[in-house]
Structure 1
Amino acid sequence: MAAAGPERPRLWQEAAALAGAVRGALGPRGGRALLLRPTGEAVPTRDGRRLLEALSVEPPAARMMAARACSHRAATGDGAKSFVLLLAAVLGGLRAAGGGAGLRRALRDFETRVLERAAARGLRRHLRAAPPGSLEPLLEPYLAGRLGPGERRLLARLCAEMCRRCAPAAAARPQVLRLLGRRFEELHAAVPGLPLASSRVLPGIVLRRDFAAYCPTDGELRALLVTEPLRPALAAPGVEFVVDSEGQYQASLRWITERTEALMKHFQSNNVKLLLSSVKQEEIVIYYAKLYGVSVVECLSSEEMALISEITGVSPYVPFGDSMDREITETAVVTFCQPLLLVSKRCVHIGFASVCAFQPHCLILCGPVDGVNEQHAAALQEAFKMLQQLFKTLDQRQEWKAEGESQSNTCKSNQVSECQLKALSDETERKIFDPDKSDLLIHNQKNHSTAVLVAHNTDAVAACECLDVGKGLEKTCCHIVPFKQEESRAGIAQDYSSCLIEAGSVLPVGGYFEILLHYYIRHYAKRCQQSEVTVVSNVVADALLSIPKALYGTAERGRFTKFYLEAINLLQKNQPLPVNDEGLESVYCKYQLVISVLHCVTELLSIDLVIGIRRPLQKIEDRDSEDDT
């Protein structure tokens, strides 16, 4: 079946339907949806990815929207629900604006000509540096959109504790967070039947199986990774071994026994006291392992073996055939090895000496039932992915960065002397570092907590230094200049560095990012010469407000309107915004959300034909026809 490309009204209707399915679960005040599994189990959830995956979506374009939202969530750990809401708002705005044939090109031009300028020359002045050494202000609001109040506080503390223990040095956190995100399944053990408060972080890793052979030992020991049976074979693979008599059979058994015993003696002489095997070993191997004081853990998954190899830098052991005199060098140092009882299940608790920045720790995650533990584990794994984005830097595009540098140099040579520039810089720095003398920093507003929301690149640089990230970046100062004077000759104090968003940049949660970007997109759109780019700019600016509108939708009536008008009024007066104390969010994550939605809109608008395939495509062979000339 073939059909013409989806029309814009239909795209908007499908996006609006998806947005309606997830809007009620957005934010800390959102509700939960009840998902029914094929087994009949009811699972309450507020997770956007689970909600989208659970929907039975038929239209191809709608399936594409849901897939793009889930892909964005998989990459950044956040934003599936916000993605759908913003996508629906953009498509609805384009439908109402009635854009022409050049709409796709206008979307690309908008990203470079308006969006990046709005972020670099407007939004960036409001960014804050993440508090050094404290992850809870970022984790609590993130988990608030997925879990209940009591759960999110405890899990945020556990998540932050695990991060700090696995990466005692701040410089190692980006690398460690990547490993935690990839290997969290192997770095936690779920225990149903206990309250969440019983959860804890333990040193080492927990293997969710019992010892096949356990020989207690004190102090450090050596461990060997094994990926094949250690019982010697009578013949090479693919070679048939024929036994003609009972004597030959008994001789074969004696040879196998002697070889297995000799192998265990060889392990003992090399101080190997632990075998970690991905395959099940024969009984004779287990017998001689016990006899020579070697503990055995078998049937480990490939993921567990890969994690241990990554931590220890050790490759699996390969038997040496007829020679057993060679020293075994590929062994891991184990600091402790003991049984661990989790309720009624026996597990293996092992501590490894790490050769990388990651210090092995495991999270024991308790909960009333398995379904709740699954939700908590999924939320924590995505939280580690979200934290990775905090250490990323976003650069400007070269084509307009060069233009900005050229404008800056022209202004400097024609209008402003170095002394005037230094005077402006010194005055700004005095206002920044002496809050008692600055009216730009602190603004008290009724119903809001004290705000200290300052736009200065030194904040981001300080964050990079505290977090030990972004050390290769150029440390440039972005002096505060009143927004109304930004385009004047004196506006050369504005920084034109290559960095669009510094590592460690955050904003308070609750719609501040969307309102700031909305305001600055509107400003830069006014000076755009192309009418279609101006239309797209206004559509995206208004669509951004759909997210804070949904966040405040369950609060008191008119709260969003009051908040929006107050924020715009303060921005027009070049005053800092009042902020709440509900936590912080990564600006990199939020900006990537906008970019991902714009790319998805461009993809949707480029569809010219939808083809429904009811049977597998048949392979068509290229053959020269007799009629071909």
Structure 2
Amino acid sequence: MPHVERLHLRHVLQTVCALEEVVLRVFGPEGGQVLFTRDTGQAVLSRSGTQILTALRLEHPLARMVVECVWKHCRKTGDGSKTFILLLASLLRLIVTAAYKERNVEHTSNSREAAEARRLADSLLTFGLEELDDVIAAGVVPYGCSLSWMDITADTNISAHTNTNTHHIQKLLASFFLTRVGCSHCDLISRLTRELLSHWRVKDSPPSLTLHFIEDNFPALHTAVSGFPVTSSRLIEGQIIHRDFATPCPPSDQQPVKAVVLAGYLQPNVLSEGFVLELGGGEKKERSSVQYGSWAETSLQCVFAHLKRLGVSVLLSAVKQSDAALSLAAQAQMRVVECVGKDELSLFAQLSGATPVSDRRLIHPENVATLTFCRPILLGDHRYVHVAFHEPEERLAVKPYSLILCGPGEGQTEQYSRAFRDAVHMLLVTWEPVSDRTSHSQQSTSLPEHPPTEPPPSPPKCVLEPGCVIPAGGTFEFLVHRALLQRDSRASHTDVGVRLLADALLRVPQLLYPHNPRLFLQTQTQVASSVRNHLHPSGLLACTPKDEASPEQTRGKSDGHCHKRADAAPPASALDPGLESVSCKSRLVLSVLQCLSRLLQFDLVLRTRTLTHTRPRCHSNTSQEDREEETDD
């Protein structure tokens, strides 16, 4: 008979607090790294909260559910796994305390406390869905900076000191990579990110187009190379095809190079091309086989003769070709690359403008790609094919570049690749405007009764404008805490749930500097002073609230609502926490409220004797790859 376990609020809190203890080891600027030991014996160091949490061997279903919520949130925003757990634990701790405040802590009954906790969690979720965006728009956005997409793709050779907004974008990326790859390499990886975005930016297009393209094609756009220092990471022009030549690659001075993408086989197909192989035995069967071989060879020779007339010298094939086809290709001095991945072929077709061909008999000039070169390249222990495209900017308005990410070991290289892709997704969320649900829902989809007299429906009001960032280090939490308390003071009655959320948010900046409480107090005082004086919360740059800037402050204002104060002190780089995305932080709070409401809906745990998924060990815990290939939510 299955074992039934009744869930108490204390048990739920203990489960989340156990995850909190794990996350605290790697949180904040003073956080360390976790050592993973895989089943193969390979040791990997990681600061990624998602990788650490998904690597744990979790038996309790609530713990697995929380980790699943964290993973889903990070898939949506690219970041926030550690803060997610800390905020959830802090909020749950306050809710449990509030639910038990008028009851005996040792009381065996749990129904009343659980009902009160559910009520508070549900009210917070309703608040998050209906009012949180407005609170953040009023209490946070006016004190942030709206970065321009042109700044993020500006020339990276320009010094950051000559372009304030470019410096801010570098800080945004460096702050993100600081928690993922450490302080030693965050500047290098953030610079490579900006360079890649600059090369792939499509002119006169929204940022979402470029970011979506890089995210979707990232496996084909980057190459992981193990056994080299991170400082060897770089960008190279063109595309890297992660296969080697299947035929000898003689040196060629041919300029330009003609290539064809093959989706099928060069070997003739008996059924599709009409050759009849007679049935029989003995001499008759042998004669038919000889006839087929002669016909197939003649057919292949005709194909290669046609390719030579088109000037083709490179064949990129999605499948493995026959030995006869490779032999004839070598005789014709054609280079063949077999078993090229679907993603790489798709990217090659987009960049070259050539249409892949599935039938060898239908190769036309429009199927031929023009390349500047096609040559082997040695990266680490592997030899790949390196191609560059002939005059792509006139047609695509981009500069195709590939990213080479190096690391001392395979595990570190994988972490850098994962962090790079998450950073691109974070930027995508940052530049994604969040529309006001109320104004959007009130718009009618039907035509007005009197079109000549009725004005057209207004577009949805943008609550969180694209590209809004705020200084990291607890600024967002301090501002939201203040905005929630002001909202509660203006309300006709006290909202206990909102008060608990405001108190829980302060727990995050407190944990950033566990051994230096003075930094917490300094940041809190600085934010409060900046809000009173309508200044940027960092105290270093004056980003005044909209519609409140004085004429003196408005003069010299640069694009992005940011400019240097004449009396501002030089930035203290050692204590500079960087910048973080307001949109990502807003989604983080809402995701925590959704997870909290779901977490408190369960009363019983039914344990059955079924095989559960096991994961590799992580230093007395576990390790596994991030589930990058799973479908999105």
Same fold flag (TM > 0.5): yes
* Structure-1 residue corresponding to 2:196: 162
* Structure-2 residue corresponding to 1:408: none
Secondary structure at the residue paired with 1:380?
A: helix
Q: CA deviation at 1:331?
A: 3.7
* Structure-1 residue corresponding to 2:543: none
Residue of structure 2 aligned with 1:561, choices 505, 521, 533: 521
Partners of 1:115 and 1:521 within 8 A in 2: no
* Structure-2 residue corresponding to 1:526: 489
Secondary structure at the residue paired with 2:383?
A: strand
Q: CA deviation at 1:14?
A: 1.1
Secondary structure at the residue paired with 1:186?
A: helix
Secondary structure at the residue paired with 2:225?
A: strand
* Structure-2 residue corresponding to 1:72: 73
TM-score normalised over the length of structure 2 = 0.75
* Structure-1 residue corresponding to 2:474: 511
Task: Describe the shift of the 1:242–1:545 C-alpha distance in structure 2 as closer, same or farther (beyond 3 A).
Answer: farther
**Does structure 1 residue 346 correspond to structure 2 residue 383?**
yes
Moved more, 58-67 or 116-125: 116-125
Percent identity, aligned pairs only, is 31
* Structure-2 residue corresponding to 1:442: none
**CA deviation map 1:364-393 (0-9, x unaligned):** 222222222122212112111111122110
Q: CA deviation at 1:523?
A: 1.0
Quick one: distance in 1 between partners of 2:508 and 2:530?
21
Aligned AA (2:254): D
* Structure-1 residue corresponding to 2:246: 212
* Structure-2 residue corresponding to 1:231: 267
Alignment of 1:275-314 (within 5 A): 275-312=315-352, 314=354
Moved more, 102-111 or 77-86: 102-111
* Structure-2 residue corresponding to 1:45: 46
**CA deviation map 1:531-556 (0-9, x unaligned):** 5xx111111111112221111224x2
Alignment of 1:465-544 (within 5 A): 498-529=461-492, 531=494, 534-544=495-505
Secondary structure at the residue paired with 2:336?
A: strand
Partners of 1:8 and 1:91 within 8 A in 2: no
Partners of 1:114 and 1:537 within 8 A in 2: no
Aligned AA (1:606): Q
Listed as ranges, the gaps of 5+ residues in structure 2 are: 100-115, 155-165, 443-457, 540-570, 612-633
Residue of structure 2 aligned with 1:549, choices 492, 510, 520: 510
**Does structure 1 residue 596 correspond to structure 2 residue 597?**
no
Quick one: distance in 2 between partners of 1:11 and 1:240?
72
* Structure-2 residue corresponding to 1:607: 602
Alignment of 1:574-593 (within 5 A): 576-579=536-539, 581-593=576-588
Residue of structure 2 aligned with 1:383, choices 423, 431, 435: 423
Quick one: distance in 2 between partners of 1:335 and 1:401?
53
Moved more, 241-250 or 17-26: 241-250
**CA deviation map 1:229-284 (0-9, x unaligned):** 21113335999864634332222111110001111122223343321112111122
Task: Describe the shift of the 1:368–1:101 C-alpha distance in structure 2 as closer, same or farther (beyond 3 A).
Answer: closer
Q: CA deviation at 1:18?
A: 0.6
TM-score normalised over the length of structure 1 = 0.76
* Structure-1 residue corresponding to 2:449: none
Aligned AA (1:568): A
Partners of 1:191 and 1:365 within 8 A in 2: yes
Quick one: distance in 1 between partners of 2:85 and 2:65?
11
Secondary structure at the residue paired with 2:220?
A: coil
Question: How many residues end up aligned between the 2 structures?
Answer: 519
Quick one: distance in 1 between partners of 2:389 and 2:603?
56
Q: CA deviation at 1:67?
A: 0.9
Q: CA deviation at 1:170?
A: 6.8
Alignment of 1:1-150 (within 5 A): 1=2, 3=4, 6-98=7-99, 99=116, 102-112=119-129, 114-130=131-147, 132=151, 133=154, 134=166, 135-150=169-184
Quick one: distance in 1 between partners of 2:525 and 2:257?
66
Aligned AA (1:525): D
Quick one: distance in 2 between partners of 1:356 and 1:314?
13
* Structure-2 residue corresponding to 1:201: 235
Q: CA deviation at 1:570?
A: 4.8
Partners of 1:176 and 1:358 within 8 A in 2: no
Moved more, 375-384 or 103-112: 103-112
Task: Describe the shift of the 1:220–1:529 C-alpha distance in structure 2 as closer, same or farther (beyond 3 A).
Answer: farther
**CA deviation map 1:58-87 (0-9, x unaligned):** 111111111111111122111111111111
Secondary structure at the residue paired with 2:219?
A: coil
Aligned AA (1:589): C
Quick one: distance in 1 between partners of 2:440 and 2:310?
63
Secondary structure at the residue paired with 2:181?
A: coil
Secondary structure at the residue paired with 1:332?
A: strand
Partners of 2:277 and 2:289 within 8 A in 1: no
Q: CA deviation at 1:155?
A: 1.4
Secondary structure at the residue paired with 2:306?
A: helix
Aligned AA (1:396): D
Task: Describe the shift of the 1:336–1:400 C-alpha distance in structure 2 as closer, same or farther (beyond 3 A).
Answer: closer
Q: CA deviation at 1:163?
A: 1.5
Aligned AA (1:558): R
Q: CA deviation at 1:566?
A: 4.4
Secondary structure at the residue paired with 1:92?
A: helix
Quick one: distance in 1 between partners of 2:437 and 2:356?
46
Moved more, 293-302 or 306-315: 306-315
Task: Describe the shift of the 1:254–1:173 C-alpha distance in structure 2 as closer, same or farther (beyond 3 A).
Answer: same
Task: Describe the shift of the 1:530–1:13 C-alpha distance in structure 2 as closer, same or farther (beyond 3 A).
Answer: farther
Aligned AA (1:345): H
Q: CA deviation at 1:39?
A: 1.0
Aligned AA (2:146): A
Task: Describe the shift of the 1:515–1:282 C-alpha distance in structure 2 as closer, same or farther (beyond 3 A).
Answer: same
Q: CA deviation at 1:557?
A: 3.8
Task: Describe the shift of the 1:330–1:161 C-alpha distance in structure 2 as closer, same or farther (beyond 3 A).
Answer: same
Secondary structure at the residue paired with 2:483?
A: helix
Quick one: distance in 2 between partners of 1:136 and 1:543?
30
Partners of 1:172 and 1:357 within 8 A in 2: no
Aligned AA (1:295): R
Quick one: distance in 2 between partners of 1:198 and 1:566?
40
Task: Describe the shift of the 1:598–1:55 C-alpha distance in structure 2 as closer, same or farther (beyond 3 A).
Answer: same
Alignment of 1:457-468 (within 5 A): none
Partners of 1:5 and 1:607 within 8 A in 2: no
Aligned AA (1:365): L
Partners of 1:6 and 1:61 within 8 A in 2: no
Aligned AA (2:52): L
Aligned AA (2:476): F
Secondary structure at the residue paired with 1:25?
A: coil
Partners of 1:194 and 1:368 within 8 A in 2: yes
**CA deviation map 1:190-232 (0-9, x unaligned):** 2233222222101111122221133635333443222322111
Q: CA deviation at 1:606?
A: 2.5
Q: CA deviation at 1:315?
A: 4.6
Partners of 1:114 and 1:525 within 8 A in 2: no
Secondary structure at the residue paired with 2:175?
A: helix
Partners of 1:49 and 1:70 within 8 A in 2: yes
Listed as ranges, the gaps of 5+ residues in structure 1 are: 403-472, 475-496, 617-629
* Structure-1 residue corresponding to 2:163: none
